[in-house]
Copies of this chain bind each other. A is one copy, B any other.
Amino acid sequence: MENLLNNIEETLLMGPGPSYVHDSVYKALSQKTIGHLDPYFIQIMDGIKSQLKQLLNTKNELTIPVSGTGSAGMETCFVNLIEKDDPVLILINGVFGKRMEDVTGRLGANVDVLDFEWGTPVRLDDVKRQLESKSYKIVAIVHAETSTGVCNPIEEIGSLLKGSDSLYLVDAVTSFGGMDIKMDQLGIDVLYTGTQKCLSCPPGLAPISFSNKAVEVVKKRKTKVPNWYLDLTMIINYWEGSTRAYHHTAPINMLYGLYQSLFNIIEEGAENVYQRHKEAHQLLVEGLQPLKIEMLVEAPFRLPMLNSVKIPDGVNEAQIRQILLKDHKIEIGAGLGPLAGKIWRIGLMGHTAYPHNVNRLVQALQVCLTN
């Protein structure tokens, strides 16, 4: 009987995630499974919470990984906060902002959106005007828009919201672990992220963090959270307190992987990790110039970990991606939505963000484009 797992070939993951996984994380994933209520496992859970708090620069007690991928993090944040007809403002300049609109609409929120051109950042003036005209329970934005490579001005939006009653919600799926996020200082109330981007861990978990203000909103709901699996009022009792109550069986080995990936960042030094991302990004931009491959996003708004590049004229973009994967064992990402066929997305996330990986991609692209 053929076992497909025997023929997996290592690929240099330079798409929009998953990213390259460090050997120490593979090793962590295969540590012996212990019980989800074993006192030693609870120590590991507490370790993960304190690692997350450290890297998010937050004191939020409710800082835990949700048992699903990054999108489950998005779902968790909104489903716990929203009740029918709650006014929500979503700032959209890419796929993941659109996804927020879809998620919140399904939950019965009264959703307003501000749309901005894909490939450009959210404009502060428009947001300011909107906030002056109406008050919202939640104002939501994507920090690092994975579909375009744009970094949104989360600090400035935080300043606009200071002193308001709104909850400030930030999608940090792609930015966390690759850029500094001072959650408390920026006034972010709610944040979710994922493991498969700059943490260099396989996909499967979604760290979230809720400020006390956000926790109060959850606790004062008039209706039950319409999602049992992601109901934080119950999940808290498993992740906090002296006696831990079973809710659902935690994904134990994935949590080992998350612990190790956070451990690696802290050990390397978070600032060093962020600097490494910046330098890899700079090297990529310079390396692509001789190939006449231009960046989609203007320099001040570019993310280091997700580089959207315009496909040169006359190039069959899907074919190049196929050749890169098949002949060079390098994966890069396609464009999504209106950017499909127009850009490639090159990820420099976590342990992918090293000069030797950048150089390997640039050389491979050169071969592909000149053949």
B203 A36 Cβ-Cβ under 8 A = yes
Task: Using C-beta atoms within 8 Å of the partner chain, give the interface range for chain A.
Answer: 35 or more
The interface bits of chain A over 8-49 (1 if a CB of B lies within 8 angstroms of the residue's CB, else 0) are 111101010110110000111111111110101001100100
How far apart are the CA atoms of A353 and B45 in the complex, in Å?
Answer: 28
Partner of A30, one of B18, B29, B35: B29
CB-CB under 8 A from A15, the residues of chain B are 35
B18 A32 Cβ-Cβ under 8 A = no
How far apart are the CA atoms of A32 and B20 in the complex, in Å?
Answer: 9
B33 A30 Cβ-Cβ under 8 A = no
One of A118-126, A246-254, A356-364 contacting the partner: A246-254
Name the distance in Å between A239's Cβ and chain B's nearest Cβ. Answer: 15
Is A196's beta carbon under 8 Å from chain B? Answer: yes
CB-CB under 8 A from A38, the residues of chain B are 11, 325, 331
Name the distance in Å between A246's Cβ and chain B's nearest Cβ. Answer: 8
CB-CB under 8 A from A272, the residues of chain B are none
B252 A202 Cβ-Cβ under 8 A = yes
Is A116's beta carbon under 8 Å from chain B? Answer: no
Q: Knowing A13-B35, A99-B228, A203-B36 are in contact, say whether A249-B106 is a contact too (CB < 8 A).
A: no
B30 A8 Cβ-Cβ under 8 A = no
Is A3's beta carbon under 8 Å from chain B? Answer: yes
How far apart are the CA atoms of A336 and B246 in the complex, in Å?
Answer: 10
Partner of A68, one of B1, B72, B252, B325: B72
Is A299's beta carbon under 8 Å from chain B? Answer: no
Name the distance in Å between A255's Cβ and chain B's nearest Cβ. Answer: 9
Is A194's beta carbon under 8 Å from chain B? Answer: yes
B29 A248 Cβ-Cβ under 8 A = no
Q: Please give the count of copies of this chain that the complex contains.
A: 2
Partner of A203, one of B44, B227, B249: B249
Is A103's beta carbon under 8 Å from chain B? Answer: yes
How far apart are the CA atoms of A11 and B248 in the complex, in Å?
Answer: 20
Is A211's beta carbon under 8 Å from chain B? Answer: no
Is A180's beta carbon under 8 Å from chain B? Answer: no
B196 A249 Cβ-Cβ under 8 A = yes
How far apart are the CA atoms of A359 and B180 in the complex, in Å?
Answer: 53
Is A259's beta carbon under 8 Å from chain B? Answer: yes
How far apart are the CA atoms of A72 and B206 in the complex, in Å?
Answer: 14
Is A315's beta carbon under 8 Å from chain B? Answer: no
Name the distance in Å between A254's Cβ and chain B's nearest Cβ. Answer: 5
CB-CB under 8 A from A35, the residues of chain B are 11, 13, 15, 18, 331
Name the distance in Å between A357's Cβ and chain B's nearest Cβ. Answer: 15
A227 B227 Cβ-Cβ under 8 A = yes
> Chain B CB within 10 Å — which of A9, A108, A247, A249 has the most?
A249
A69 B4 Cβ-Cβ under 8 A = no
User: What are 7 sample pairs from A and B whose C-beta atoms fall under 8 A apart?
Assistant: A4-B43, A5-B263, A8-B34, A29-B30, A33-B202, A105-B224, A202-B252
Residues of A within 8 A of B (CB): 1, 3-5, 7-11, 13, 15, 17-18, 20-21, 26-36, 38, 40, 43-44, 47, 67-72, 74-75, 79, 99, 102-103, 105-108, 194, 196, 202-204, 224-229, 246-254, 256-257, 259-260, 263, 266-267, 325, 331, 336
Question: Which 10 residue pairs across A and B have the least CB separation, nearest first?
Answer: A204-B251, A26-B30, A71-B248, A202-B253, A30-B30, A75-B229, A203-B249, A10-B32, A103-B228, A29-B29
